[in-house]
Chain A
């Protein structure tokens, strides 16, 4: 990913900041410019999301996306955050066989990848199982 393209999203990627519409109170992640419900009547403002959520679905990837080859097998999940928005994220620090639908997770800051040996290092969020 080109440096400016990643750099523009750093506030959202590093802090899990989405948007809240002051008109309908809907919380959106990833953030966007227009509230899809209120459209021009919406008043979007930055909103820092709570980091807890639960697994809605998951897959164990044995064939990686480009740049993730050294991570297989990895668990990719759709997580519903406590605030409502859903996102796609890896589940980290786990045995790939132990993830189940409904598992509670917390979002943790992690290294995601790198451009090249001397290039930019990407960071972002992954989910980690909350164990009772």
Chain B
């Protein structure tokens, strides 16, 4: 496969965007990415759009056609990619494979979710369709419930505390304060998290990522083309994807995501890097326990020490391995189909040195980790400066 680079990125504001439609959001992110890349739309060969559930959220399937049409890019091939909350990461991977194969020179990878046109109960019900409807949801499971089962077991096996989980939310809210696109630009304390209403104990309201509208877009080019178009190409050095059982109960471990471990192994190998080489990471913190498990599974710390290293500030900006500098899913917001692309937008901005007050000094190599469901799908990308 030939080398592939990111040449442009674009993001909408994340939040409850009642006055903005699905179509407007996608065009805003797309136009920003194209402008950022400094290319003409006519140069684009294909597009991949990550989206979990437009059918349930806005009763509209077949959005691939809508996006191509509204972008004025007809008749290029446009493909929707779905893998629950990993839809964005999977769309990026498909776009990387497309450019890498030599089929097209410039390809768009986008992600979008419009979640607030339905009531919260309908939205959580829609999200629950990413779990096993027959054997999990049927007995009363929700996503917070499934992650709470992981959290309780993690506490039992490793002594992780609710305060350590709260430290993830506190850090990510802090980072989000420096991100104008973030849904929550406000500080919270460990005490706020501990006193927030119970959802599925031990998880409380402020352990959970929110329901969010948002869209994100990146433009990929062959590395050869990228070097002609920009002075700061960001190479997609490694991509890894893996699958696991849809039901949490069918997995041998409740405290690791095997799909993350496997996807990371492939991405590290392809990029020729080790976990120690990573300067910063965007990981899938749909719940606070998910970030703790992710930094363990990605080998940024020993198994079982994710809570402890978070509490000690190792994953803060300025720490040993900054995690979720954008605010993560918790602080920036989690428009499920857009999340995997938005993570890569953050990594690219960091590696270019354009992240402003949340900049990680001297960042050369970054990682993005996107999970579908309770871990049935995981996708990991390693990016590095290509100049």
Query: Residues of A with Cβ closer than 8 Å to B?
Result: 1, 9, 30, 56-66, 68, 71, 73-74, 76-78, 86-90, 101, 112, 122, 124, 126
Cross-chain contact A59 with B200 (CB below 8 angstroms): yes
Shortest 6 CB-CB contacts between residues of A and residues of B = A59-B148, A57-B153, A62-B198, A86-B249, A57-B149, A60-B201
Q: When chains A and B are docked, how far (Å) is the Cα of A116 from the Cα of B199?
A: 26
B319 within 8 A of A: no
With A9-B134, A59-B200, A88-B135 known to touch, is A65 a contact of B141 (CB < 8 Å)? yes
B72 within 8 A of A: no
Q: When chains A and B are docked, how far (Å) is the Cα of A57 from the Cα of B156?
A: 9
Cross-chain contact B153 with A56 (CB below 8 angstroms): yes
B140 within 8 A of A: yes
Cross-chain contact B156 with A101 (CB below 8 angstroms): yes
B347 within 8 A of A: no
| Chain A residues with CB below 8 A from B78, complex form | none
| Chain B residues with CB below 8 A from A61, complex form | 140, 142, 145, 148, 199-201
Cβ-defined partner of A76 (8 Å) among B134, B145, B151: B145
Within 8 A of A (CB), among B99-156: 121, 124-125, 128, 133-142, 144-145, 148-153, 156
B60 within 8 A of A: no
Q: When chains A and B are docked, how far (Å) is the Cα of A108 from the Cα of B206?
A: 35
The smallest C-beta distance from A88 to any residue of chain B, in angstroms, reads: 5
| Chain A residues with CB below 8 A from B152, complex form | 57-59, 101
Cross-chain contact B139 with A57 (CB below 8 angstroms): no
Q: When chains A and B are docked, how far (Å) is the Cα of A85 from the Cα of B124?
A: 28
Cross-chain contact A64 with B248 (CB below 8 angstroms): no
| Chain A residues with CB below 8 A from B249, complex form | 78, 86-88
Within 8 A of A (CB), among B16-52: none
Cross-chain contact B149 with A58 (CB below 8 angstroms): yes
| Chain B residues with CB below 8 A from A63, complex form | 142, 144, 198-200
Within 8 A of A (CB), among B255-311: none
Query: Residues of B with Cβ closer than 8 Å to A?
Result: 121, 124-125, 128, 133-142, 144-145, 148-153, 156, 197-203, 247-250, 254
Cross-chain contact B153 with A101 (CB below 8 angstroms): yes
Task: Name which residue of chain A comes closest to B137, CB basis.
Answer: A65
| Chain B residues with CB below 8 A from A1, complex form | 133, 138
| Chain A residues with CB below 8 A from B141, complex form | 65, 76, 88
Q: When chains A and B are docked, how far (Å) is the Cα of A1 from the Cα of B144?
A: 21
Task: Name which residue of chain B comes closest to A78, CB basis.
Answer: B249
With A58-B149, A124-B138 known to touch, is A66 a contact of B128 (CB < 8 Å)? yes
With A58-B149, A71-B140 known to touch, is A88 a contact of B201 (CB < 8 Å)? no
The smallest C-beta distance from B287 to any residue of chain A, in angstroms, reads: 11
With A58-B152, A62-B197 known to touch, is A78 a contact of B140 (CB < 8 Å)? no
The smallest C-beta distance from A78 to any residue of chain B, in angstroms, reads: 5
Per DSSP, chain A at the interface is strand
| Chain B residues with CB below 8 A from A126, complex form | 139
| Chain A residues with CB below 8 A from B153, complex form | 56-57, 101
A-B contact pairs, 12 of them (CB 8 A): A57-B150, A59-B148, A59-B200, A60-B201, A61-B145, A61-B148, A63-B198, A64-B140, A65-B140, A66-B128, A71-B140, A73-B198
The smallest C-beta distance from A23 to any residue of chain B, in angstroms, reads: 20
| Chain A residues with CB below 8 A from B199, complex form | 61-63
Task: Name which residue of chain B comes closest to A64, CB basis.
Answer: B140
| Chain A residues with CB below 8 A from B135, complex form | 30, 87-88
Q: When chains A and B are docked, how far (Å) is the Cα of A122 from the Cα of B141?
A: 16
Q: When chains A and B are docked, how far (Å) is the Cα of A76 from the Cα of B361?
A: 45
Cβ-defined partner of A65 (8 Å) among B145, B148, B156, B248: B145
Cross-chain contact B200 with A62 (CB below 8 angstroms): yes
| Chain B residues with CB below 8 A from A88, complex form | 135-136, 139, 141, 149, 247-249
The smallest C-beta distance from B274 to any residue of chain A, in angstroms, reads: 32
The smallest C-beta distance from A1 to any residue of chain B, in angstroms, reads: 7
| Chain A residues with CB below 8 A from B248, complex form | 78, 88
Task: Name which residue of chain A comes closest to B247, CB basis.
Answer: A88
The smallest C-beta distance from A35 to any residue of chain B, in angstroms, reads: 14
With A30-B135, A59-B201 known to touch, is A68 a contact of B140 (CB < 8 Å)? yes
The smallest C-beta distance from A28 to any residue of chain B, in angstroms, reads: 9
The smallest C-beta distance from A51 to any residue of chain B, in angstroms, reads: 16
The smallest C-beta distance from B294 to any residue of chain A, in angstroms, reads: 18
Task: Name which residue of chain B comes closest to A77, CB basis.
Answer: B149
The smallest C-beta distance from A46 to any residue of chain B, in angstroms, reads: 17
Task: Name which residue of chain A comes closest to B128, CB basis.
Answer: A65
With A57-B149, A88-B139 known to touch, is A78 a contact of B144 (CB < 8 Å)? no
Cross-chain contact B139 with A59 (CB below 8 angstroms): no
Q: When chains A and B are docked, how far (Å) is the Cα of A126 from the Cα of B135?
A: 12
Q: When chains A and B are docked, how far (Å) is the Cα of A30 from the Cα of B138?
A: 13
